[in-house]
Structure 1
Amino acid sequence: MREPTASGRPAARPAPASQQTMRRQNLGLVLQQVAAGAADGAPPSRAEVAAASGLTRAAVSSLVEELIGAGLLAELPPAPSGRVGRPGTALTLDPRGPAGLGAEIGVEHLAACLVDLRGEARVWRRVPADNRGRPPGAVLADLAALLRATAAEAPGLRPAGLGVAVPGLVGAESGLVRRAANLGWSDVPAVAGLRSALRRAGAPELAALPAEADNEANLGGLAELWLGGHGGAGDFVHISAESGVGAALIVSGRLFRGARGFAGELGHVPVEPDGPPCACGARGCLEQYAGERAVLAAAGAGPRRGEGGLPGGAGAGTGGRGDWIALVADRAADGDPAVRAALDRAGTALGTAVAGAVNLIDPAAVILGGGYAELGEWLLPAMRRELAARVTVRPWSDDWLAASSLGRRGPLLGAAVGVVRAIVEDPGRFTG
């Protein structure tokens, strides 16, 4: 008997799947099996895909031929198996197939990359750019030129989509940057503006690509999920920083966005209710203790003899405010007591804020990403100290807090890899 709906009427029977729908689903199933095997270093044969998927060998063979014809799969040379008979031919994702184009707008840089269907970066470009307070149209024009040059550098790859990482609150579906305080942006239609800039830059084929924008912290967290190598842990908090402080919450292998899509604003969690005022209008926010300006102020911005000094001080020699993460890391490695004290203070504030998240959502791990990953040697001890003191009603181990291996590459990789993962999950639109 069918269950009644909320109106009390019997629920309608679900429509049976058409042959076309079933074939499209099976194409995705086969491609995902090959992708999983390739990621584990064991590219599967047709027979192994059939055994793992539950499809017949004949069905798998037909689907594989369709995927090869669409440029999504490729056959590897037969490898000797030691068994009698013809060796099975292993399958892999085609490195010449559809590619993901990624873009990143930073406060002090622009970046672009092109990844192949396996998620491997084939082209990577990052250029310094002082975008703080610049008109959005000028920033997007520079980014369009960078994207055009990036795509031209790998003529054998065909971009199938574009992902854009932005340091602010972004409507992922609309591509509207609602607020990016460190850029000085408010209600900027980033995706539409970038399409226009690409057309003006002579790249109409890139302007026509499916495109999405998302918060850089979200994309960094997704890159960590897909590429970070955490043994399949599907529940973690990913914390990152460039100019601001953000977080991505990964729950059951998915990005948790919240009711309105703005979850993860860790930088505006208060760590001292009566602390200094923040640009957001509140007081004592984490960014006032662990953000760029706070760390630099606590470390001192004056140059040492013969050096350009920390960004924000006279003579910062890298253009604009400079690469503050690298310069702070260099000073800390040299044993500068003021810099180390500033990082200890930042780590204490981070530990205080993260302890609340750990107690609230019980993640399997906390990952320090973005620029923070390069400062982990000096941030992690204070964070561990604070977490040990504040996470007391549930199990906690220092091993569950670690620095990301992706570092500042995360948001851009997340933007580009998201494109090719969508293809692997639903290859039907690229076949036939």
Structure 2
Amino acid sequence: MSSRGVRHDSMRARNLAVVLDAIHRTGPHTRAALAERTGLTKTTVSSLVADLLEAGVVSEGGAVRGGERGRPGVAVSLSGRRVATLGLEVNIDYLAACVVDLTRAVRLRRTRPADNRNSDPAEVLGLLRDLARETTDAAAADGLRVMGAALAVPGTVEDGVLRSAPHLGWRDVRVAGLAGDLPLAVDNEANLAALGELWFGSREADFLYVSGEIGIGAGLVVGGALFRGTYGLAGELGHVVVVPDGPACRCGGRGCLEVYAGQDALLGPLKSVTELVERLEAGEPRALEACARAGDALGVALTSAVHLLDPGRIVLGGVYAPLFPWLGGPVTDGLGARLAPMRGTPPPLVVSGIGADAAVLGAAGLVIQRVLADPAQTLGL
């Protein structure tokens, strides 16, 4: 191909992304309005819209006022009819998959209870591969074309390799090929849960998301983007020390937040969060004491986070979402008492709008963002 052809293809790919971004962010628009908004010619916009229509990314229908005087034009909007993405999650006690279309509507959701502590990666990933295949087959039967997948894991990730997931007992696990021929991204559960909250939940631009599971992670969203840190390891809130001479933690330290406010600490001898909620609703003293202790420890850790990061709000997710009626008060009280001397009112503390689904939705949403950012590459246009 000549250099002129390469330049033309590159420009076309960029223009496809510009038009699709305008439809996504501020649409629906007529073709005339898209030309005015993007600065492209009407002929170019019409050609690009035709390609996006053919790919099933957008649809036309309904009358809206365009960028010109006269009769209303036909609206071009994102379509959820044909193109979708796959979100996957490996957690300590379950596997999950979901299919989300380009309008961010959840089309399918599958969950499999499992005990993945100190498990065989090959066995667990085999079960997840079966779940992914089952879910994509169901999506295809519904007329959806799944364009890519992302996986949320409870551990640190580098270059597509799960470097360490202590609760799973996994180290240096490569997950390539998990989703068959689909492109697969892998990221930390708390990071993807924060993005899930951004795209599917509160949609606030600045917040600290706290993921309460057996481990405790956090994701910081600033200006609508995830802050990952220099090595992608930002957000290890569970290993912030809240009691310097406290009990030993699995990380080798002592008195970490996870020891006091992780799922195991909250449940004690109980089998599930559902059982804990039932006992809390009944006013059982031991259950109430466990939540008060966890809330106080969270307040200590989050006080340091607020001093360091100054988030617009704090969102509690994971198992903290169903426990929020009992955790929220102790956390808020602890934050207020410790922050009052320096900054007065603490940032608002809110419950996640999507609860336990945050990470798997964030995984699917990550692929949606990639489709929107580069439709030519991801859709083969």
TM-score normalized by the length of structure 1: 0.81
The SS at the match of 1:250 is strand
Shift of 1:44: 2.3
| 1:262 maps to 2:251 | no
- Aligned partners of 1:68 and 1:369: how far apart in 2? 37
- Aligned partners of 2:284 and 2:155: how far apart in 1? 32
- Aligned partners of 2:144 and 2:89: how far apart in 1? 20
Q: Specify the alignment match of 2:216 in structure 1.
A: 245
Larger Rg: 1
Report which of the two has the higher share of strand: 2
Q: Specify the alignment match of 1:363 in structure 2.
A: 311
Q: Specify the alignment match of 2:121 in structure 1.
A: 136
Residue by residue over 1:314-344, the C-alpha shift from the partner in whole angstroms, topping out at 9 and shown as x without a partner, is xxxxxxxxxx222212221222221111101
Q: Specify the alignment match of 1:6 in structure 2.
A: none
Q: Specify the alignment match of 1:158 in structure 2.
A: 145
Decide which moves more: 64-73 or 275-284: 64-73
TM-score normalized by the length of structure 2: 0.92
Q: Specify the alignment match of 1:89 in structure 2.
A: 74
- Aligned partners of 2:202 and 2:46: how far apart in 1? 31
Is the Cα–Cα contact under 8 Å of residues 66 and 431 in structure 1 kept in the other structure? Answer: no
What is the aligned counterpart of 2:60 among 75, 82, 107?
A: 75
| 1:425 maps to 2:373 | yes
Q: Specify the alignment match of 1:288 in structure 2.
A: 259
* Cα gap change, 1:348 to 1:92, in 2 (>3 Å): same
* Cα gap change, 1:19 to 1:392, in 2 (>3 Å): farther
Matched residue type, 1:218 = N
CA RMSD for the aligned pairs? 2.1
Counterpart mapping for 1:339-350 below 5 A? 339-350=287-298
Matched residue type, 2:283 = G
* Cα gap change, 1:48 to 1:291, in 2 (>3 Å): same
- Aligned partners of 2:344 and 2:91: how far apart in 1? 34
Q: Specify the alignment match of 1:29 in structure 2.
A: 18
- Aligned partners of 2:266 and 2:8: how far apart in 1? 60
- Aligned partners of 2:355 and 2:334: how far apart in 1? 23
The SS at the match of 2:73 is coil
Shift of 1:369: 1.2
* Cα gap change, 1:44 to 1:167, in 2 (>3 Å): same
Shift of 1:431: 4.9
| 1:228 maps to 2:228 | no
Is the Cα–Cα contact under 8 Å of residues 31 and 46 in structure 2 kept in the other structure? Answer: yes
Q: Specify the alignment match of 2:3 in structure 1.
A: none
* Cα gap change, 1:80 to 1:24, in 2 (>3 Å): closer
- Aligned partners of 1:383 and 1:213: how far apart in 2? 32
| 1:404 maps to 2:352 | yes
Q: Specify the alignment match of 1:7 in structure 2.
A: none
Shift of 1:85: 5.3
- Aligned partners of 2:303 and 2:32: how far apart in 1? 48
- Aligned partners of 1:397 and 1:53: how far apart in 2? 43
Shift of 1:117: 1.4
Shift of 1:110: 0.6
Shift of 1:212: 1.2
Length, aligned pairs only: 372
Q: Specify the alignment match of 1:102 in structure 2.
A: 87
The SS at the match of 2:26 is helix
Is the Cα–Cα contact under 8 Å of residues 67 and 431 in structure 1 kept in the other structure? Answer: no
Percent identical residues? 45
* Cα gap change, 1:67 to 1:395, in 2 (>3 Å): farther
Matched residue type, 1:52 = R
Q: Specify the alignment match of 1:414 in structure 2.
A: 362
Matched residue type, 2:301 = A
Structure 1, unpaired ranges of 5+: 1-16, 199-205, 302-309, 312-323
Residue by residue over 1:350-381, the C-alpha shift from the partner in whole angstroms, topping out at 9 and shown as x without a partner, is 11101111111111111111221111111111
Matched residue type, 1:263 = A
